[in-house]
Structure 1
Amino acid sequence: MDTALPSGTDAREHAVLLRRAHDAQLSGRPAPAPLRPVIEDSWGRMRGFGIDPDSAPPPKVARLDELQRYRDASPIAEVLPLIRRSLVSVADEAEHIMLVTDAAGQVLWREGSHRMRTVGDRVGLVEGAYWNEGSTGTNAIGTALVVGRPVQVYSAEHYVRNLHTLTCACAPVHDPRDGRLLGAIDVTGPVSTIHPATLALVSAVAQLAEAHLQGIHHTHLERLRSVAAPLLAGLTRPALVVDDNGWTAAAVHMEAVRRVLLPKQCESGTTWIPALGECALEPLPGGWLVRPRPEEQAAPSTVTLDLARPGAASVTVAGDSGEWVQHLSPRHTELLLLLAVHRGGRSAVQLSRDVFGSDKHVVTVRAELSRVRRNLGGVIESRPYRFSDEVRVRVLAPESPLNLLPGSLAPGVRALRDRTRAEDLFDFTG
């Protein structure tokens, strides 16, 4: 966990040291102390963005009607009462504010100390404001969303000088079903109030929120399973009941898959679904009845791996029968990127080295790719692992190599990030 204050360090002295390091880094002089790797990497991205640490523009703020739409669309809204009960009273007593953002870093909700809300107003830390790295420089919200793990940022670790009076601790919130980034929970206060335990608290609340979202999901599937039970009892051929997002509630006469990729525009009729082939779709209250027709096979023609926005990787599978989109976990994103780069294929041993830096994780690699292949049937081949020769693979990469899966520590991904020209990233979009 990226706590900002080393054990046994005086907070005030450390803040002075960080300010000296900030001045040295920006003037090109040797720094009196090294930055933490997560901060150093972030500052590299700031230089790539061209952010001015002394005169950064105020963050973009959404209109009130737009903000309400984002709030209504956020899955975190379902667990907001839990987050409030866990953090608001603590933040208020400690003269902090609690913030909840979406995956783009937009502040959806802000509560806590009146004094800190006033401070937040001055620096643009308000509801509707975007606090991703590209908008406000290195900060706990933006950096945690980029690297996908809890981060604390203290004083002059903020790239923009007018944030040096703040200390922030933030933990991302992921969809417990597929690892998709949903947003983040942050606690921000005056620089004098830094405490390593703040990050642990925020991280625990984020994990609690994810567990609660998982419970809501299970309750919905159970309800759908009950509704569909009489219908399934009368079927004699393979069928699945899935919710509107493709998560399986029940299966008869076939092995249940965890999730199917429904078309972006889901309608009654026949369509091709990855891992199942041609299927008949019929609407149900809160979901769909899916009946595979294995005798009618069709294949996808294009796979698009979208890595343009850090923390929001997705894969789109397209063919004559439609288009399907799946959000990706960090590990599956790494594996698909490496297979997109190495169209000739990679063995399990090679991928183990690419992802983990050693050949001791072959079993893990095979298990993860087994899950990927179940989700993207007909797209990934084995022995060696590779994209099918019949499929066109496109990679939508970020403009800067520094932003290529910036939270990944995989040696194979880090090697790609080391490329210095953005156009190099597109050499493998075959």
Structure 2
Amino acid sequence: MPTPAPAPERAQSALPLGTDPREHARRLQRTRLAVLGGAGPRAGQPVRTVIGASWRRSRGSGLDPAGAGEVPALGDAALAEHRRASGLEPLMPLLRSRLLPAAEAAGQIVVVADAGGRVLWREGGAAVRRRADALGFVEGSAWDERAVGTNAIGTSIVTGEAVHVFAAEHYAEAHTAWTCAAAPLHDPVTREAIGVVDLSGPAQTVHQSTVALVDAVARLVELELRAEVEQRLAALREVADPVLRALDGPAAVVTPDGATAAAREVEVPRRVWLPTGLRPGPLWLPSLGAWTAEALPGGWLLRPAGPAAGAGTTATGVVLDLSARPAVLRVASGEGAWEHPLTPRHADLLTTLARHPEGLSAAQLAAAVLGDADRTVTVRAELSRVRRALGPLLAHRPYRLAVPCAVVTG
């Protein structure tokens, strides 16, 4: 009889069925010390693929597992702005109603972070919140992998999947007395991560079903988001219809975040990656070329700047700024400039390509970024989204940046 394939790690509990949590935590600690000390795990002490890959990324970022991240927490004003910009605040009543009772019963906290790993909300009992305070796990803190290493919030952002991290699976020693389960929230149009929902608490509060619960709630939230997007698109189409019928030539109407509501005589993606701080007037897009933007109630009217407009305009400079949070990609050409924030995974993929100008296959990228060469489907899907934004600047077969890219790290 053939050996069954291993279960997918999506929403997989870190605690094997029937395992004593305290004994499993002790085994994990021995494995952690061996692997991070350079000796590698002994027989019978395997490291889950998702954890091993995250440990390698954390080490590659120069983090010391004996210490914790030193990224300062946001002040009150900056935290309020991050909350507003995230667009997640309207989702909080649903998240509270579905997760807070379970968290309080288990002695855990509910945490909601933005797509860059910044903790925006943290709610739960006073006792567990005080313990989280001691870890610096507070509202406004940075909880991405580059800041604190392997943890459910940061690692789920990179993998794009629900992740459970228990005890010594954490990279930072100070976090090994903790357990956390997180799932990313995705934009219903682009499937890009827009935030993370997490349940965390002391290691003794671990439960096998926690990660499945968090993942299910995240999917429920995404269904709510999809319904809202469809309502916004329907309203914008009513505005766009008479405008487009009165125009001659190609045009498209998009929402403020770039979701395409309508188009005529031109093919545009389901979402146009608009530059940061878009204003009416000339607009240059790496994937579409030179256009003009006009404000509409609830969106933008985009029109090609001329008959020669289109993708393929040569970029004069490409900069990947990793010092910004979130990371920002800046592209300049003779016709204009474009700037857009990147998800952590897109930033990691583009950084890897920038450092390998000769190009990499999907398997090589999967191994380098995700720690698993078999996850080529994930890599291809993510790079397909990036290519819809960058057009010919992102080549494939092999994947490579068509122009040199400067990487700014600080």
TM-score by length of 2: 0.78
Partners in 1 of 2:60 and 2:283 — Cα distance?
Answer: 44
Aligned equivalent of 1:194: 206
2:404 is equivalent to residue 393 of structure 1: yes
Q: Which amino acid aligns with 2:128?
A: M
Q: Which amino acid aligns with 2:18?
A: G
Aligned equivalent of 2:338: 324
Structure 1 unmatched runs, 5+:
400-430
User: Is the Cα–Cα contact under 8 Å of residues 275 and 340 in structure 2 kept in the other structure?
Assistant: no
Partners in 2 of 1:189 and 1:13 — Cα distance?
Answer: 18
Report the CA distance between 1:197 and its aligned residue: 1.3
Partners in 1 of 2:67 and 2:397 — Cα distance?
Answer: 54
Identity of aligned residues (%): 41
Report the CA distance between 1:109 and its aligned residue: 0.7
1:241-278 superposed Cα distances (whole Å, 9 cap, x missing partner) = 12223322112344454233444453333444445444
Which moved further from structure 2: 156-165 or 83-92?
A: 156-165
Give 1:337-376 correspondences, 5 Å limit.
341=356, 351=361, 375-376=389-390
Give 1:96-135 correspondences, 5 Å limit.
96-135=108-147
Partners in 1 of 2:199 and 2:115 — Cα distance?
Answer: 17
Which moved further from structure 2: 76-85 or 129-138?
A: 129-138
Count of aligned pairs between the two proteins? 389
Partners in 2 of 1:361 and 1:20 — Cα distance?
Answer: 28
Aligned equivalent of 2:47: 35
1:204-260 superposed Cα distances (whole Å, 9 cap, x missing partner) = 222222332233222222212112222222223222112223322112344454233
Which moved further from structure 2: 191-200 or 257-266?
A: 257-266
Report the CA distance between 1:13 and its aligned residue: 1.5
User: Is the Cα–Cα contact under 8 Å of residues 366 and 376 in structure 2 kept in the other structure?
Assistant: no
Aligned equivalent of 2:27: 17
Aligned equivalent of 1:79: 91
Partners in 2 of 1:47 and 1:373 — Cα distance?
Answer: 29
Aligned equivalent of 2:245: 233
2:37 is equivalent to residue 3 of structure 1: no
For the residue of structure 1 that corresponds to 2:249, the secondary structure is coil
Distance 1:197 1:235, change over 3 A: same
Which moved further from structure 2: 362-371 or 81-90?
A: 362-371
User: Is the Cα–Cα contact under 8 Å of residues 322 and 328 in structure 2 kept in the other structure?
Assistant: no
Partners in 1 of 2:170 and 2:291 — Cα distance?
Answer: 52
Partners in 2 of 1:286 and 1:333 — Cα distance?
Answer: 33
Distance 1:3 1:395, change over 3 A: farther
Q: Which amino acid aligns with 1:279?
A: W
2:320 is equivalent to residue 306 of structure 1: yes
Report the CA distance between 1:282 and its aligned residue: 2.1
Distance 1:366 1:160, change over 3 A: closer
Aligned equivalent of 1:181: 193
Distance 1:276 1:53, change over 3 A: closer
Report the CA distance between 1:398 and its aligned residue: 6.2
Report the CA distance between 1:396 and its aligned residue: 2.4
Distance 1:253 1:183, change over 3 A: closer
2:218 is equivalent to residue 206 of structure 1: yes
User: Is the Cα–Cα contact under 8 Å of residues 276 and 340 in structure 2 kept in the other structure?
Assistant: no
Distance 1:301 1:84, change over 3 A: same
Distance 1:382 1:7, change over 3 A: closer
Partners in 2 of 1:44 and 1:380 — Cα distance?
Answer: 26
1:331-372 superposed Cα distances (whole Å, 9 cap, x missing partner) = 8985996599456xx8xxx95665689xx9999999998876
Q: Which amino acid aligns with 1:104?
A: G
Aligned with 1:136 (options 148, 154, 159): 148
Distance 1:269 1:194, change over 3 A: closer
Aligned equivalent of 1:90: 102
Partners in 2 of 1:78 and 1:201 — Cα distance?
Answer: 20
Which moved further from structure 2: 373-382 or 235-244?
A: 373-382
Partners in 2 of 1:367 and 1:130 — Cα distance?
Answer: 27
Partners in 1 of 2:346 and 2:281 — Cα distance?
Answer: 34
1:38-92 superposed Cα distances (whole Å, 9 cap, x missing partner) = 3233334444555555554776322222211211211222322221111011111
Partners in 2 of 1:162 and 1:55 — Cα distance?
Answer: 7
For the residue of structure 1 that corresponds to 2:232, the secondary structure is helix
- What is the RMSD of the two structures over their aligned residues, measured on CA atoms? 4.0
For the residue of structure 1 that corresponds to 2:88, the secondary structure is helix
Partners in 2 of 1:322 and 1:155 — Cα distance?
Answer: 50
For the residue of structure 2 that corresponds to 1:187, the secondary structure is strand
Distance 1:253 1:332, change over 3 A: farther
2:261 is equivalent to residue 258 of structure 1: no
Aligned equivalent of 2:5: none
Partners in 2 of 1:88 and 1:190 — Cα distance?
Answer: 16
Report the CA distance between 1:98 and its aligned residue: 0.6
Larger radius of gyration, structure 1 or 2?
1
Partners in 1 of 2:166 and 2:397 — Cα distance?
Answer: 48
Q: Which amino acid aligns with 1:11?
A: P
For the residue of structure 2 that corresponds to 1:149, the secondary structure is coil
Give 1:276-315 correspondences, 5 Å limit.
276-297=288-309, 299-302=313-316, 304=318, 306=320, 308=322, 315=329
Partners in 2 of 1:44 and 1:362 — Cα distance?
Answer: 19
Which moved further from structure 2: 4-13 or 370-379?
A: 370-379
Distance 1:309 1:195, change over 3 A: farther
Partners in 2 of 1:154 and 1:93 — Cα distance?
Answer: 19
Q: Which amino acid aligns with 1:76?
A: L
Report the CA distance between 1:374 and its aligned residue: 5.6
Partners in 2 of 1:55 and 1:374 — Cα distance?
Answer: 39
TM-score by length of 1: 0.75
Q: Which has the higher contact order (CA 8 A, sep 6+)?
A: 2
User: Is the Cα–Cα contact under 8 Å of residues 95 and 116 in structure 1 kept in the other structure?
Assistant: yes
Partners in 2 of 1:109 and 1:367 — Cα distance?
Answer: 30
Report the CA distance between 1:100 and its aligned residue: 0.8
